[in-house]
Amino acid sequence: MAHDMILTDELAIEYLETAVLSKTERVTDHCRQQISSVSSSSFAWVYHGSAALQAKMFHRLRGHYVETIISSHPSSSFRANLIFHLCSYAKQEKKRPEYQKLFSTLANEYGNTPAGELAKNVLREHEGPAIGTRIPSFSFTSLDSGNYAYSNKDFLGKYVFMDFWATWCGPCVEEMEYLHAAYARFHQYGFEILSVSFDASPNHVKHFRSTKWKMPWANAYVESEKQTEVGRTFDVQFPKPILISPSGTIVVLGDALRGKNLGKTLEKYLPGK
């Protein structure tokens, strides 16, 4: 009986994972009911929960159900990961009271977990790069050639879209469709993309590129020991898009570079529309 219940939980969450990866998120009412019936303490969340955390449907459940998972799930690392994602979404959606509450919980109760440490670096509110200022100096190790590091000089004379992201970041993955479309449309006119990963291992990105999105542009990663410094310097949130001019000056930040807005924004700066 217990095995049947675990299997049911696994199938429900895997169904949601498939919906997320297909980018349709067409989830049936039956699936919604099944997800809501997965025990808040089930370890099925640990095995497949990363996909669920990226699903809009999961975030819409919220309320008592999600609060119960946060308070009762036996895995502290999963609880911390869940709170991190909720905090990230709240910050992006400018729900300040919710963001402050979740960030405080992460920092004070889960500060020693990987998610808690990452939150201090990338979710903390502080000043970062601003429009009209020069992009800070950087050196990020290439994912395609570990002996090379991308720096400011590599992109002088071109418009470059710098994107701080991670494979586990749902909103980041959702942007891939628009990044690929923009690159295909504008690359020939001097448009470049530099994707900078905050994943725990470069292999996570290599697997992502080989199985999901090719990302045929400059790809780099930030070593774990440097993520704190880079996060503070660039005020990294996920995703963190920055458009830099050919002279190295920041010209656009934020929502104008996300989703369907990206193509419209690039039209203002690049010829050959």
- How many CA atoms does the CB half-sphere of 204 hold within 13 Å? 15
pLDDT value, residue 22: 58
Give the angle subtended at the CA of 234 by the CAs of 151 and 186, to the nearest 5°: 60
Mean pLDDT by 10 residues, the chain (273 residues): 56 64 57 66 64 60 70 82 82 76 81 78 65 84 84 88 88 89 90 90 88 90 82 77 88 85 88 59
pLDDT value, residue 43: 66
CA nearest 240: which of 159, 175, 188, 177? 175
User: 69 with 111, same domain?
Assistant: no
Residue 272 lies in a domain: no
User: 161 with 231, same domain?
Assistant: yes
Residues of 226-263 as b/e, b for ≥16 C-beta within 10 angstroms? ebeebbbebbbbbbbbbbbbeebebbbbeebbbeeebe
User: 241 with 175, same domain?
Assistant: yes
| Rounded Cα distance, 262 and 267, in Å | 9
| Rounded Cα distance, 158 and 192, in Å | 7
User: 8 with 116, same domain?
Assistant: no
Total of domains in the chain: 3
User: 250 with 146, same domain?
Assistant: yes
User: 87 with 154, same domain?
Assistant: no
User: 46 with 33, same domain?
Assistant: yes
